[in-house]
Every structure is written in structure tokens, then in C-alpha cells.
């Protein structure tokens, strides 16, 4: 649909500034209406250092000029000082994706021209603001992302432990399901402490592993030397260090969530929003979603769903729906896109766990995987989980209730199903005659 002049006027901004950001500086372009000539614009371009005092002075200058909106591109982590400090100065800041505003063939590429181009797009309302959560959610996001990174690093060091054992011809992982369980960890500690006798090591088994003494003796017979023992002590110490750091982050995340509340509900008489700890409990009821995953969901999308008017807006922002490509009478679906890797990673783990349950989400996975494959079925389940999360966060009275794995069977269109089965039999060369059952 062609954009009208009224639409352009609604999105236009009279006084705007744009910043092309680098590591040590930023090029600022400010465009203001002319004092005497109607329709004329006055443009100023200058360079600002990316230090705190320089950015604060920039904020004061923009406020004195009556700038209504400051638009900046997302360049690594360098945009954060400009965004946060100018926001504290009371300016409306928009963060935009450089890929969406600068990918113009044939246009020269300089920092000055980039700032001018970004300012012109901003004053005409031709840019979209990226989602930047408020400060409490940003702090929660820093904690959950650091915990995820530490968890991944700990897993890598656990894999190094297994590679070290394989190098010493110790096949413990072929008998023990969890190398860092009670029995496995006791054997690793004994190996690092100097114990080399296979039967003495196998005697440390607990629980069901006691019945596998002979297999353990065979698996623990190898060429484990002092060199391997030294490396094993280093790796076990690193794993324990990450475990301690992850435990501390868990405590800080829980404490921060205990202080956070959502936006106040307009339909309620109280001016206090729902506590974040209560949201965690309600999200935990969704199949596949644990406490850690619920914390990541809140950290990535926030507690205020007014930024996403509908679940479809949230799913589209998270890149969990295929991109529509239409040309003439041909319609096709393109790739969903990268999206937020932290959110998609947590939802992927939740979808993988929900796929193994006897619930509606599990049945949805099994129904889709037969014709679309494992990856697309997981994306579909992840989208369903995110849609459920949107409803739980936006509605304080909403509670998750599973509709059952047989929901699709109960809502089956028998006429359509009969027609499809008849067509399949006819395609195989059979003549089908239907008769009502007795």
C-alpha cells in the first residue's frame, strides 16, 4: 500500500539527531527546522569522543536544541554508553539495526555520510527501534547470559576430562552414564590423588554401579600416568570453580527477581505489578520449561508485554516464524533468521525436553516431525512455548493448563481425513467403496 502524506507526517520528527558510533568516537548529525524559511532544514555534523564527560555534554547540547529523538546504530557494545547516558539525560533514544538502514547500493560509505543518512531516515520516520529493556531487566540479562556462558565453559572442560581419560586408555564413560556423578567423581578424584589400581577404583562405585564391578575394572585398566593426574587435577579444579561461580550467579538472579515486579495492571485497583518470582513459578508449569529457562525468558523479553502487542509480534521478533516471500501468485516461506541467540537457545532446549513428554507440546512435536523433520518440529514447539509465555506474562490471572496429547485427535475433521485416506489408496491403485459402520 502506498504511504500517504498523512502517514509520513505521523512518523516524521522535526528535531532529530543521529550518531554513527565507533569504539573511540561517534559522528553526530543534528537536523533542525530553519528559523525563518519554512520547509528548510539546518544540519550540523561533528565528532564526539566516546568518554563519559563528552557524551554528557552532547546530551546537554541536544536538550538545549530541543532534539526530540536520538537515533544510533547498534555497533558491537560501543552503543551502550551513548544510549544509557543520553537516556539518563532525558532524551528519547532509538537503537536501530545498521543492516536495515545502510544497505543501499551505490551510496558512499563514510562515518559522516552514514550519520547524515541515518538522521534523514529518522526524521522521516523510516527506521524501527530495536528492543532495549529497562535497567533492571538489563541487569538480569547480564547475569543469565554470564551463567549460560559459564555453563557452556564448564561443559567444555568436562569434555576435556573425557578426552584426557581416553588418552590414558581409561574407558570409564562407557560404563558410567554420568562421568561427574557421585561414583564417577569419586573415581576421578582418586585418579587425580594417585590411585592407579583398577579394583580399588572400582570399589568406589555407588548405587547401581556396584553390580558392574567387573566392567569397571576393565574400563579403569589403562596407562594413566602422573602427567595425566596433574592435568586431571587442573581440569577438576576448573570445573569446580565454574560450579561455584554458577551457584553464586543463581543466587544473585533469584535475589534480583525477588525485587522485580511487572508493570501495573490497568484492570486492577492496585498500582503494583505482578512479582517476577510468581511469573517464574507459572512459567515453570509449562512442559520443558524449568526455573533456569523461565529466568532466561524473562531476562530476554522483559516483564512488560506492551512492547509486543500480540504473541505474533513477539514470535516474529524472536525469529521463530518463517519469513513470507510473495511474488505474483507464488507464495513461499523463507528462513526464519538468527534472532536472539540466548532466547532461541533456551527455547530450543525447552522444546527438546517438551518433545519427550506425553503432553500437547509433545504430541505437537511428534505430529510435525513426521512430515517436516526434527529441526522444524523443534522450532514449532519453541514458538508454542513462547506464545504461552506471552499470555502468562501479559495476563496476571492466566495459568497454564495442558489440553492433552489427544487434542488434535479430538478435533479431527473426519470428513477431510476420510477424503485424504481415500486419495492415498486410489493413488496406490485401489478402488475404494465406503460403507457406514454397523
What's the confidence (pLDDT) of residue 409? 80
- If DSSP states are collapsed to H, E and C, what string results for 166-206? HHCCCCHHHCCCCCCCHHHHHHHHHHHHCCCCHHHHHCCCC
What's the confidence (pLDDT) of residue 59? 93
Rounded CA gap, 93 and 13, in Å? 13
What's the confidence (pLDDT) of residue 44? 92
The DSSP secondary-structure symbol of 326 reads: E
Fold of 5-123: Nucleotidyltransferase; domain 5 (3.30.420)
Q: Side-chain half-sphere of 369: how many Cα atoms within 13 Å?
A: 14
Quote the crossing angle between the two packed helices 341-354 and 135-167, to the nearest 10°.
Answer: 60
C-alpha gyration radius of the chain: 29
Q: Looking at the chain, how many residues does it have?
A: 438
Rounded CA gap, 20 and 11, in Å? 22
The closest of 181, 180, 174 to 220, measured between CA atoms, is 174
The closest of 91, 69, 86, 83 to 132, measured between CA atoms, is 83
Contact 393, 262 (CB under 8 A): yes
Q: Is 151 helix (H, G, I), strand (E, B) or coil?
A: helix
The vertex-10 CA angle with 6 and 15, nearest 5°, equals: 125
What's the confidence (pLDDT) of residue 110? 86
Rounded CA gap, 254 and 285, in Å? 18
The closest of 46, 253, 7 to 150, measured between CA atoms, is 253
Contact 378, 348 (CB under 8 A): yes
Rounded CA gap, 258 and 98, in Å? 36
What's the confidence (pLDDT) of residue 158? 95
Query: In sequence order, what DSSP letters do the residues of 250-286 get, joined into one string?
Result: HHHHHHHHHH-B-PPPTTSS-S---BHHHHHHHHHTS
Torsion over CA of 305, 310, 315 and 318, rounded to 10 degrees? -40
For residue 360, give the C-alpha cell: 500437547
**Would you give per-residue pLDDT tens digits along the chain (438 residues)?**
333 333 333 457 889 999 999 999 999 999 998 888 887 888 999 999 999 999 999 999 999 999 989 999 888 889 999 999 999 999 999 999 877 776 666 777 888 988 998 999 988 888 888 889 999 999 999 999 999 999 999 999 999 999 999 999 999 989 998 999 999 999 999 999 998 999 999 999 998 888 999 999 999 998 999 999 999 999 999 999 999 999 999 999 999 999 988 887 665 555 567 889 999 999 999 999 999 999 999 999 999 998 899 999 999 999 998 877 877 778 777 777 788 899 999 999 999 999 999 999 999 999 999 988 999 999 999 999 999 999 999 988 899 999 888 888 887 778 888 888 889 988 998 888 888 877
What's the confidence (pLDDT) of residue 7? 38
Rounded CA gap, 376 and 333, in Å? 13
Rounded CA gap, 43 and 113, in Å? 12
**Bridge partners of residue 21, in order along the sequence:** 26
> Which region holds residue 71: left if phi is over 0, alpha if psi is between -120 and 50, else beta?
beta
Q: Which residues contact 225 (CB under 8 A, 6 or more apart)?
A: 168
The dihedral through the CA atoms of 178, 182, 187, 191 has a sign that is: positive
Backbone dihedral angles phi then psi of residue 113, each to the nearest 5 degrees: -70, -35
Domain residue limits, the chain: 5-123, 138-256, 276-394
Rounded CA gap, 302 and 393, in Å? 9
Rounded CA gap, 166 and 174, in Å? 11
What's the confidence (pLDDT) of residue 321? 85
For residue 248, give the C-alpha cell: 553464586
**Bridge partners of residue 71, in order along the sequence:** 18, 94
What's the confidence (pLDDT) of residue 268? 54
Q: Is 124 exposed, middle or buried (0-12, 13-18, 19+ CB in 10 A)?
A: middle
- Cβ neighbours around 10 below 10 Å, total: 10
Backbone dihedral angles phi then psi of residue 275, each to the nearest 5 degrees: -65, 145
The closest of 370, 202, 386 to 305, measured between CA atoms, is 386
What's the confidence (pLDDT) of residue 60? 93
What's the confidence (pLDDT) of residue 6? 35
**Alpha-carbon distance values, 128 to 72, 98, 132 (Å):** 11, 11, 12
Amino acid at each position: 500500500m502506498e504511504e500517504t502524506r498523512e502517514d509520513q507526517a505521523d512518523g516524521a520528527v522535526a528535531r532529530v539527531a543521529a550518531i554513527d558510533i565507533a569504539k573511540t568516537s561517534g559522528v553526530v548529525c543534528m537536523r533542525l527546522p530553519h528559523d525563518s524559511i519554512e520547509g528548510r532544514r539546518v544540519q550540523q555534523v561533528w565528532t564526539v569522543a566516546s568518554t563519559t564527560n563528552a557524551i554528557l555534554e552532547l546530551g546537554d547540547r541536544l536538550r538545549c536544541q530541543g532534539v526530540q529523538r536520538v537515533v544510533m546504530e547498534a555497533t558491537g557494545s560501543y552503543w551502550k554508553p551513548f544510549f544509557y547516558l543520553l537516556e539518563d539525560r532525558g532524551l528519547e533514544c532509538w537503537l536501530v539495526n545498521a543492516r536495515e538502514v545502510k544497505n543501499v547500493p551505490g551510496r558512499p560509505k563514510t562515518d559522516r555520510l552514514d550519520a547524515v543518512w541515518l538522521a534523514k531516515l529518522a526524521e522521516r520516520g523510516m527506521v524501527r527501534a530495536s528492543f532495549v529493556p529497562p535497567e533492571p531487566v538489563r541487569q538480569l540479562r547480564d547475569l543469565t547470559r554470564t551463567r549460560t556462558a559459564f555453563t557452556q565453559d564448564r561443559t567444555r572442560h568436562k569434555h576435556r576430562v573425557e578426552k584426557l581419560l581416553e588418552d590414558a586408555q581409561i574407558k570409564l564413560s562407557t560404563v558410567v552414564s554420568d562421568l561427574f556423578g557421585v561414583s564417577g567423581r569419586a573415581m576421578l578424584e582418586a585418579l587425580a590423588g594417585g590411585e592407579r589400581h583398577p579394583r580399588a577404583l572400582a570399589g568406589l562405585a555407588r548405587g547401581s554401579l556396584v553390580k558392574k564391578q567387573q566392567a569397571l575394572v576393565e574400563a579403569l585398566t589403562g596407562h594413566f600416568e602422573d602427567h595425566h593426574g596433574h592435568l586431571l587435577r587442573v581440569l577438576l579444579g576448573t570445573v569446580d570453580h565454574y560450579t561455584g561461580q554458577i551457584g553464586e550467579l543463581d543466587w544473585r538472579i533469584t535475589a534480583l527477581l525477588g525485587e522485580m515486579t511487572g508493570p501495573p495492571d490497568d484492570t486492577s485497583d492496585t498500582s503494583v505489578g505482578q512479582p517476577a518470582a510468581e511469573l517464574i513459578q507459572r512459567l515453570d508449569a509449562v512442559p520443558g520449561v524449568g526455573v533456569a529457562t523461565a529466568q532466561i525468558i524473562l531476562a530476554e523479553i522483559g516483564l512488560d508485554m506492551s512492547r509486543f502487542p500480540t504473541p505474533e509480534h513477539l514470535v516474529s521478533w524472536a525469529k521463530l516464524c518463517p519469513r513470507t516471500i510473495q511474488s505474483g501468485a507464488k507464495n513461499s516461506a523463507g528462513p526464519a533468521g538468527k534472532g536472539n541467540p540466548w532466547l532461541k537457545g533456551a527455547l530450543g532446549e525447552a522444546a527438546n525436553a517438551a518433545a519427550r513428554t506425553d503432553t500437547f507440546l509433545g504430541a505437537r512435536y511428534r505430529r510435525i516431525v513426521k512430515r517436516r523433520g526434527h529441526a522444524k518440529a523443534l522450532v514449532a514447539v519453541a514458538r508454542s512455548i513462547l506464545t504461552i509465555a506471552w499470555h502468562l506474562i501479559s495476563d496476571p490471572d492466566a495459568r497454564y493448563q495442558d489440553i492433552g496429547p489427544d487434542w488434535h485427535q479430538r478435533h479431527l475433521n473426519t470428513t477431510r481425513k476420510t477424503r485424504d485416506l481415500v486419495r492415498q489408496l486410489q493413488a496406490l491403485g485401489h478402488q475404494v467403496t465406503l460403507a457406514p459402520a454397523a
